[in-house]
Amino acid sequence: MVDLDRLIVQFDKGLRTLFAPAPTARPLPGRDLPDAELDEAGKKQAAALMRVNHSGEICAQALYQGQALTARNPVARAALEQASWEEVEHLNWCETRINELGGRKSLLNPAWYTGSLALGALAGVLGDKWNLGFLAETEHQVVRHLDGHLQRLPRMRRAAPLSSR
């Protein structure tokens, strides 16, 4: 059973996920690499792909939070809450890159969040077997999705190595 305190905490998490800048403990990956030169069309395409990734991270937060909300097993609940926390900085990284590319976040994020939270909560209600199976399949699909994006990123001219600048 979900009590009122947990619902209030969940509502707060949802607002933070959707509207507050996400914190990060580690720097954005790739900061030590030279940035590739992209023309305007390339930047626009990369920003659009990153907007989808950011929405995916919003959905991941909502799924983990929904699953943790209704998980019966306290160990599974703690693991899901930990996974959610560990993924928060992915939101920061995606948002930072979107801003660098001159893009914007999806206006549909509240809808993606709400739907994903409901899906996660349903998986939790169905029991630990379904909950953890759902988690494993979600991670599998994320890997496939990211592989697809890597193929779709615009070809970039290689920037000169830092040593030659």
Where on the chain is the footprint of Fe ion (CB under 5 A)? 87, 90
Q: Minimum Å distance from CB 43 to Fe ion?
A: 23
**Is the CB of 77 or the CB of 90 nearer to Fe ion?**
90
Q: Minimum Å distance from CB 42 to Fe ion?
A: 24
Q: Minimum Å distance from CB 2 to Fe ion?
A: 25
Q: Which residue is nearest to Fe ion (CB)?
A: 90
**Is the CB of 87 or the CB of 128 nearer to Fe ion?**
87
Per DSSP, the three-state class of 37 is strand
**AA letter at 104:** R
